[in-house]
Amino acid sequence: MVIVGGGLAGLKLAQSLRKTNYQVVLVDKNNYNQFPPLIYQVASAGLEPSNIAFPFRRLFQGWNNFFFRLGKVNSIDTKEKAVQTSFGTLHYKYLVLAAGATTNFFGNKNLEEHTWPMKTVTEAMALRNHILENLERAETEDNEQRRQALLNVAIVGGGPSGVEIAGALAEMKKTVIPRDYHDLDVKKMNIYLINAGNRLLQSMDPKSSEQAEKDLRNMGVTVKLNSRVTDYHDQQLVMPDGSTLLADTVIWVSGVRANTIEGVPQQSIGHAGRILTDRYNRVKGMTDVFAIGDQSLVEGDKEYPLGHPQLAQVAIQQAANLADNIIRLENHEPITPFSYRNLGVMATIGRKKAVAEIGKMKFGGLTAWLLWLVVHLRSILGVKNKTVVLLNWMWNYFNYKQSLRLILKPFRTCRAVPREGEHG
């Protein structure tokens, strides 16, 4: 079996097949699994990348039926039952596509080239560097307009990612910047949260949306609803009515699009590039090929006509169901359709501020915040990572004196090395 993508869905599937006789080959462009719900904390210098990432080879030490390959899948050959990768050809009995999604810029090249996505650990690190660099540059900038652009941060997208990064940056503005940059007028720093819809957190109850908006406004975030961004150039965000907003840092979390792989029939591609499957996660028009997680769109579910929410719990439940079905197929037993069980949704806003919904229960404040901490701490891979994250959160709760605000950039040195037969 070949699994393409080691996110939450791909990893859960591999783990669920541990006690089988399958030879499982996991292909991913990174050698680690990352925990998406906490990526915003890396971007805001709250956690180190290693705290929310874990190497595949460490996870599967001692698993003789598991093989990891670092690389990219270029195409699928269904006739040969093979995938062409950056390192060669892999043949499969079953192929599972779990390559997740990427940021959707809706075809706007200016937004794609000049705004900052926050979907991966790598992107979060780049964003962290940019925010910290802008603060450093603002201290020495003589031009008032350029300084204001460096201090302004605009977040486009009012979903959980947008709400959480807005809250984290608001707390950073209040508690960190005045101490680290005491000669910088922090009052001039503006944080904007721009949402095309009429409320934040559209997937949650209106009361939760109202609570999140209220908390963010109280924290100093300027929330702009019914405001669609159409372009970005010259440090200016452009709205449909022609109005602009000055900001050198624009964080784009306004939507995602499924990653594509050559070889999947065009008729099998649905909304936002997601791969169409039946209720058993079998890809439409393909044999022995499955799709799970953010990359898949299960047809036939009237409650989710555009696909299930692209959330961690959906990916994990689909992976568990598929693992069970694959075992059933080998035993010539009937397979079971996927049925999503909503365990609840939540979003953190700031210190002692969050919103959570579990079944018919809806609550916010300290209770929701503590629940959010427990749920996410349990989900992090590795005992060491859990411990470090818990200590970081405790330390930050009491004094905000973390020392994670490092500007780290890749730096390549080129030293001349004589070729064979050359000297010098």
Q: What pLDDT does 404 receive?
A: 67
Q: What is the pLDDT of residues 123-168, one digit of tens each?
A: 999 999 999 999 999 999 999 999 999 999 999 999 999 999 999 9
Cβ-contact 31, 70 below 8 angstroms: yes
Average pLDDT over residues 102-113: 95
Query: pTM higher than 0.85 for the full model?
Result: yes
Distance CA 168, CA 172 (A): 6
Residue 325 CB partners (closer than 8 Å, separation 6+): 280, 281, 335, 336
Closest C-alpha among 71, 55, 81 to residue 4: 71
| pLDDT at residue 76 greater than cutoff 80 | yes
Domains of the chain, earliest start first:
2-103+256-330 (3.50.50.60), 109-254 (3.50.50.100)
pLDDT given for residue 300 in this prediction: 87
The position carrying tokens 């197929």 is 329
- Cβ–Cβ under 8 Å, residues 200 and 163: yes
Mean pLDDT of 403-413: 67
> In the structure, what pLDDT confidence band is assigned to residue 401 with cuts at 50, 70 and 90?
low
For residue 118, the model assigns a pLDDT of: 97
pLDDT, position 417: 43
Let me know: does 307 contact 270? Beta carbons within 8 Å: yes
pLDDT at position 95 over 80: yes
Alpha-carbon Rg for the chain, nearest whole angstrom, is 23
Per-residue pLDDT, 379: 77
Residue 340, number of CB atoms within 10 A of its CB = 17
Tokens coding 344: 């609840």
d(CA 220, CA 189): 10
Q: What is the mean pLDDT of residues 281-300?
A: 96
| Residue 216 contacts residue 168 (beta carbons within 8 Å) | no
Sign for the pseudo-dihedral over CA of 97, 73, 34, 349: negative
Q: Which residues contact 170 (CB under 8 A, 6 or more apart)?
A: 191, 216, 219, 220, 221, 350
CA distance 402 to 156: 27
User: Is-contact 219 170, C-beta < 8 A?
Assistant: yes
Other C-beta atoms lying within 10 Å of the C-beta of residue 88? 10
Give me the percent of the chain exceeding a pLDDT of 70: 93
What value does the mean pLDDT take over residues 264-285? 96
pLDDT reading at 418 higher than 70: no
Tell me the torsion sign for CA atoms 400, 404, 406, 408: negative
Q: What's the rounded Cα separation, in Å, for the pair 84 and 204?
A: 41
Q: What DSSP string describes 24-55?
A: EEEEESSSEEE-GGGHHHHHTTSS-GGGSEEE
Render pLDDT for 292-303 as a digit per residue (tens, 0 to 9).
Answer: 999 999 998 888
The answer to whether residue 416 scores a pLDDT higher than 80 is no
